[in-house]
A and B are shown apart, each in its own frame.
Chain A
Amino acid sequence: MQEALLQLATPTGLILILFGTTLGVFVGAIPGLTGTMLIALTLPLTFGADPQYAMTLLISIYVGAISGGMISATLLRMPGTPASIVTTFDGYPMAQNGQPERALGLGIMASVTGGLISWCFLLTLAQPIARYSKEFGPFDYFSLVMMALVLIATIGGKSILRSLFSGFLGILLAMPGISVATGETRLTFGFTELNDGFQLLPVLIGMFAVNQILRDIIDSAKPQSTTPIATQGLALKISDIKNHGLNLIRSSLIGTWIGILPGIGANIGSVTAYSVARSTSRNPEKFGTGCEDGIVAAEAANNATIGGALIPLVAMGIPGSVVEAVLLGALVIHGFQPGPRLFEQSPELVYTIIFTCLFANLAMAGIMCCSIRTLAWLTKIPRAFLLPIILTFCVVGSFAMSNRMFDVWVMISFGLLGLFLESKKIPLAPFVIGFVLGPIAEENLSAGLMGSGGDWTPIFTEPKSLAFLLIAVLLLAIPICRNRYRDWRSQS
């Protein structure tokens, strides 16, 4: 452990952390570019480097990018990853109400807390916790995903019916291509470009960034009603920590534990934490209108998923997300054998990963706090300059992911679809979550059914699977029951 710390404490180590985190924050903040892409593109550049420094750089970028996504989500309503969609619910309204700095400040505080809490688990309990991920069978994964889909439907909009429609439309549009379960090609209508399906990145960029840019362009024709931006700086008080303490800790724990589950964690940690925060809040109706608790829950959870997701990677060699798969590849290329024995074979490397995670979180907080004034100024750049540049980023970002012009067309089409859906008051968040989780649900349900010989009952008889369904029902029912109770009291 000391060796790892000593190496990180050298000027080179610290500069790499600062550089990586800064790069990650800014790339994460640019709509159209994502941390995943940056890491995948940076990987080959680290081949010649010292393996520990290489991991330091990559993980710093990872931490920075997840946090940076908050900036565009809050200021422009353009989330860079599915994980920061939830941040737009309250962050954007708050920024629009003239408090962008406060919204960002709360987000930073929550991100750091989430990052640190999950880091404690990573440091102390990585081995025992990682075992917990092996207890999950296919039906458990399926129920967990269904839970997330129900939750996003209840928090994403005002009408559950519309949200559900949006979610299932997302699932449907994730279906064309080769089925994850059987390998058969379907719904491509003979169009071979579609055998690959629609990729997440162009869909996400289209739905949120392109849609929002077109909307902004349309709005820019009207006389501007500029909201005065409050220059209260960070505006965080000690009382904030007191007020949000419970929420911070709860959301971080949820983020950490869900983050551990490979493949799902990062996407639904924030959805679940937000939903729990809303159900337990005294003012659930304030969520979605610029509520501080909403920002805190979403950001604490999505940063906590990083520490959570690193646990199976470090302890068992199991990647939890695309980014982690790339990190795993980096380990192998540098001659390590990621697996349960990584810890005992190369402890210095594991500690480098773990402590980079800590330092990068701290660096991220410092960088974001310093640049918050500049960032809020982003909203003041003349749109004639800002919007065309962001659009170009979107085009380049969609293209560079897999070097296909097809993806760029997909991006534009989904931008128009997003514009259309929103004009019909159908929320987009359930669509994207459905799009991401649909294939995971199908894959696990198929594997489960193959194992049970076509029997569906394990969904209700497996304890964990049942527990997730019950949690979903509970989180659905609590707000409804509370409203009924309030109506009933006010009437009597």
Chain B
Amino acid sequence: MSAPSNKLKIQGIVLLALLLITAWRLINTISTDQPNQFPQKPIQIVVPYLAGGGTDTFARILQKSLNREGSLGEEFVVTNKDGGSATIGSRQVKDAPPDGYQLLCHHEGIIATQLAGVVDYGPEAFRPIAQTGSIVLLMVVRADSKYRNLNELLEAAQKNPNTIRVGANQGSPAYFICKQLLGEFPGADFNFISAGGAKRYTYLLGGKLEAGIFSLAEYVSFRNSSDTPAADNILAIGNFGDKRHPTIPEVATSTEQNLKTRAENAYYIWAPKDTPDHIADILARTFHDTLQSPEVNQELQKLSIDPTFRSGEDLREHLAVRVKAFQELSVDAKTELPNFPVWIIGIVVILLVAVLVFKTEPEAALEAPTPSDRIYSKKSSILGATCLAILIAYVAALQFKIPFGIATPLSIFLMGLSISKAKQTQWLILGIIGLGFSLALEMIFTQLFSVALP
């Protein structure tokens, strides 16, 4: 008899210890809550593109330096939210609480998407914190292309409109540069094909595109050594910046090619519109200091990004000028594409009807019993429903900000209890599992990965 009771005693002690730790942690989190100090938790920098792209690289260089210096005492975390011409990420930040914990790192695409009608908001829906760099843009062709400069490319587009295939997502900054160029050659038109980043590069090499606009950083990393066969390499034929760039002094600017089109892009840090002044100031100062550090300068130079910094009134004026420059251009009607959602809904409905009509097809009768064929007794359905209810209650509790450390053990305990049909011998073990497990999870996520659990 003594062995089982000893086991019970040990289990009881472990449970008690875990309860105490949980309670101690909860009290701790409540007492350190000082709402006036910014920042209190990691700051998220949302990058509206895939990891590995130009914007992402830029954001991560800043992040590395911000975290190394650690002047704010909290980590900066880069999150990638790609898709929808970068509007998925930008909308998330626009709608985020204006507390400075979610920032957007985005270039002038934010102006372009509004003018192209993709979304109904532009820079005015944000509080711009800082301009943190400017980028040189280039027109790039395959190295064996017959177009050796901008004029040849555009004259071809004038002679045979819509035959030159150019990779640019409708309404992206690249698209606006092309429109500006085309404006200089009456009647000229490109055939725009949506392809971004690495895909634009492979399509160019594979002969699926004649030309594309690349940032200098992209060009430098995709360009192969000069002894590569020309069919496997790319070549810049025009630089849209003010002057030739030291990294690629051989590429002539558009001005030198007697064209009026000039363009550059810049990275900005945006915060939700109602972000209070003192938070915006802290952030602007932090970004300013980071941009001054020699490490960042060195890394940005490698990427051919100039560490231009603007903030406050200076930045607002600059943005107003940029928005105006974009507004002078128009966006054509989009290419006629089939209405895919309608097609798919149609197919699904047809298939649904077919499935219902052919319900008694012979093969269905011959089917081996799948798990779903088992007859569920009333008792087991009640059990299933109970557990589902506990799960939903658990998630709802988390949604309404009940601490993870309380909700999780409780839900594990209750669910385990109902599955084991409330066997008394398992109460203690379930309690231990629930508390221990949630403590461990919370430690791993908050301490190691700096992800705040609900």
Interface centre among A182, A341, A449 (most CB of B within 10 A): A182
Min CB distance B223 to A, Å, is: 7
- Is the pair B441, A392 in contact by a Cβ cutoff of 8 Å? yes
Structural contact, A450 and B395, CB atoms closer than 8 A: no
Is A409 part of the contact surface with B, judged by Cβ < 8 Å? yes
> Main secondary structure on chain A at its contact with chain B?
helix
B454 contacts chain A at the CB level, 8 A cutoff? yes
Is B420 within 8 A of A451, CB to CB? no
| Interface flag for B185 (CB, 8 Å) | no
Cross-chain contact A450 with B193 (CB below 8 angstroms): yes
Q: A158 near B453 (CB under 8 angstroms)? A: no
Q: Looking at the assembled complex, report how far the CB atom of A313 sits from the nearest CB atom of chain B, in whole angstroms.
A: 10
Q: In angstroms, how far is the closest chain B Cβ from the Cβ of A141?
A: 10
A447's partner among B88, B195, B225 (CB-CB below 8 A) is B195
The one of A168, A187, A220, A316 in contact with B383, judged by C-beta atoms closer than 8 angstroms, is A220
B194 partner residues in chain A, CB cutoff 8 A? 181, 443, 446-447, 450
Stretch in B57-65, B123-131, B143-151, B246-254 with 4+ CB within 8 Å of A: B57-65
Q: Which residue of A lies closest to B445 (CB)?
A: A400
Determine if A136 is an interface residue (Cβ-Cβ < 8 Å).
yes
For residue A318, CB closer than 8 A to chain B, the reply is yes
Complex CA distance for A175 and B346, rounded to whole angstroms: 14
- Out of A187, A317, A319, name the residue touching B222 (CB < 8 Å): A317
Contact pattern, A 403-425, Cβ under 8 Å of B = 1, otherwise 0: 10100110010001000001101
CB within 8 Å for A344 and B225 given contacts A161-B355, A172-B344, A183-B87 = yes
Chain A residues whose C-beta falls within 8 Å of the C-beta of B84 in the assembled complex:
177-180, 183, 185, 195
User: Is A233 part of the binding interface, using a Cβ–Cβ cutoff of 8 Å?
Assistant: no
The residues in A between 107 and 149 inclusive whose CB is less than 8 angstroms from any CB of B are 131, 133-138
Q: Evaluate contact between B203 and A183: CB separation under 8 angstroms.
A: no
Alpha-carbon distance A412/B399, docked complex (angstroms): 14
Interface of B is mostly: helix
**Contact (Cβ within 8 A) A178 B87:** yes
Count contacts on A: residues with CB < 8 A to the other chain: 100
Residue from A158, A220, A447 within 8 A of B419 (CB atoms): A220
B433 contacts across to A, CB distance below 8 A: 385, 388-389
Residues of B contacting A317 in the complex (Cβ-Cβ under 8 angstroms)? 198, 221-222
Within 8 A of A (CB), among B213-227: 220-225
B85 within 8 A of A: yes
Does A234 reach chain B (CB closer than 8 Å)?
no
Q: A178-B87, A183-B169, A423-B372 are in contact. Are A383 and B419 (CB under 8 A)?
A: yes
**Chain B residues whose CB sits within 8 angstroms of the CB of A262 once the complex forms:** 198-199, 202
Given A222-B380, A325-B52, A329-B51; A41-B449 close (CB under 8 Å)? yes
Cα A21 to Cα B430 in complex, Å, equals: 31
Nearest CB on A from B422, distance (A): 10
Q: How many residues on chain B are close to A (CB under 8 Å)? A: 120
CB <8 Å contact, A217 and B384:
yes
When the two chains form the complex, which single residue of B376, B379, B381, B453 contacts A400, counting CB atoms closer than 8 Å?
Answer: B453
Interface string of B362-399 (1 = CB under 8 A from A): 01100110111010110111011001100110110011
Q: Encode B21-62 as 1/0 by CB contact (under 8 A) with A.
A: 000000000000000000000001000001110001100110
A340 and B437 form a contact (CB under 8 A): no
Query: Whole-angstrom distance between the alpha carbons of A322 and B316 in the complex?
Result: 36
Interchain CB contact under 8 A, B224 and A168: no
Give CA–CA (A41, B194) in the complex, Å.
Answer: 31
Expressed in whole angstroms, the minimum distance between the Cβ of B115 and any Cβ of chain A is 12
C-alpha spacing A278/B368, complex, angstroms: 19
* B332-368 interface code vs A (CB 8 A; 1 in, 0 out): 0011111011001101100110110010010110011
Chain A residues with Cβ below 8 Å from B195 are: 447
Contact B222 A339 (CB under 8 A): yes
The verdict on A474 contacting chain B, using a C-beta distance below 8 Å, is: no
CA distance A168 to B64 in the complex (A): 43
Q: Are A449 and B337 in contact (CB under 8 A)?
A: yes
A171 at the interface (CB under 8 A from B): yes
Q: Are A180 and B83 in contact (CB under 8 A)?
A: yes
Does the CB pair A325–B51 fall under 8 Å? yes
B259 beta carbon closer than 8 Å to chain A: no
Interface string of A297-338 (1 = CB under 8 A from B): 000000000000000000011110010011011001101011
Given known contacts A165-B352, A385-B430, A388-B416, A339 and B223 CB-to-CB distance under 8 angstroms: yes
**A215 at the binding interface (Cβ < 8 Å):** yes
Judge if A362 is at the interface, Cβ distance under 8 Å: no
| A384 to B417 alpha-carbon distance, docked (Å) | 7
For residue B358, give the distance in angstroms from its CB to the closest CB of chain A. 6
Residues of the A chain whose Cβ atoms lie less than 8 Å from the Cβ of B434: 388
Contact of A412 among B165, B395, B438, B441 (CB under 8 A): B395
Interface residue? B244 (CB, 8 A):
no
Instruction: Please judge, given known A-B contacts A329-B57, A384-B416, whether A172 and B91 are in contact too, CB under 8 Å.
Output: no
Determine which of B80, B348, B408 lies in contact with A392 in the assembled complex, contact meaning CB atoms within 8 Å: B408
Interface residue from B79, B348, B352, B372 paired with A425 (Cβ < 8 Å) = B372
A168 near B299 with CB under 8 A, answer no
Residue in A168, A384, A450 whose Cβ sees the most chain B Cβ within 10 Å: A384
A192 interface residue, CB < 8 Å from B? yes
Question: Does B88 contact A196, Cβ atoms closer than 8 Å?
Answer: yes
CB distance from A302 to the nearest CB of B (A): 22
Q: Which of B50, B162, B340, B381 contacts A325 (CB 8 A)?
A: B50
Q: A385 — which chain B residues lie within 8 A by C-beta?
A: 416, 429-430, 433
Q: Are A221 and B370 in contact (CB under 8 A)?
A: no
Known: A175-B340, A333-B60, A339-B221. A165 touches B348 (CB 8 A): yes
A12 to B387, CA, bound (A): 46
Name the residue in B79, B383, B445 with the highest tally of chain A Cβ atoms < 10 Å from its Cβ: B383
Q: Is A183 in contact with B340, judged by CB distance below 8 angstroms? A: no
- Chain A residues within 8 Å of B377, by CB: 221-222
CA distance A328 to B411 in the complex (A): 39
Is B289 part of the contact surface with A, judged by Cβ < 8 Å? no
- Docked pose: A184 CA to B119 CA in angstroms: 8
Q: What is the CA–CA distance of A192 and B84 in the complex, to the nearest angstrom?
A: 14
CB-contacts of A270-318 with B (<8 A): 289, 316-318
Q: Which residues of A contact B355 (CB under 8 A)?
A: 161-162, 165, 426
Complex interface: chain A residues within 8 A of B391 (CB): 391, 395, 412
Asked whether, in the complex, the Cβ of A134 is within 8 Å of the Cβ of B445, the reply is: no
Query: Do A389 and B412 contact each other (CB < 8 Å), given the known contacts A332-B60, A344-B225, A425-B370?
Result: yes
Chain B residues with Cβ below 8 Å from A169 are 348
Q: Contact check, B384 vs A183: say whether CB atoms are below 8 A apart.
A: no
> In the complex, A395 Cα to B398 Cα: how many Å?
10
The answer on a CB contact under 8 Å between B193 and A453 is: no
Q: Which residue of A lies closest to B194 (CB)?
A: A447
Contact of A187 with B341 at beta-carbon distance under 8 Å, contacts A161-B354, A340-B224 already known: yes
Flag whether A402 is at the interface (Cβ < 8 A): yes
Asked if B351 and A219 make an inter-chain contact with CB atoms under 8 angstroms apart, the answer reads: no
Beyond A178-B88, A219-B374, A409-B395, 18 additional pairs, beta carbon < 8 A = A44-B450, A131-B232, A134-B206, A158-B363, A159-B361, A175-B340, A186-B341, A187-B341, A196-B83, A325-B51, A328-B52, A335-B302, A340-B222, A391-B415, A412-B391, A425-B372, A447-B194, A450-B191
Q: Which 9 A-B pairs have the closest CB atoms?
A: A178-B84, A221-B380, A384-B420, A328-B52, A339-B221, A165-B351, A329-B51, A388-B415, A134-B206
What are 17 A-B contacts defined by CB distance under 8 Å? Answer: A44-B67, A44-B450, A133-B202, A161-B358, A164-B351, A181-B194, A181-B337, A183-B171, A187-B341, A218-B383, A316-B202, A339-B223, A383-B419, A384-B419, A443-B194, A446-B337, A454-B335
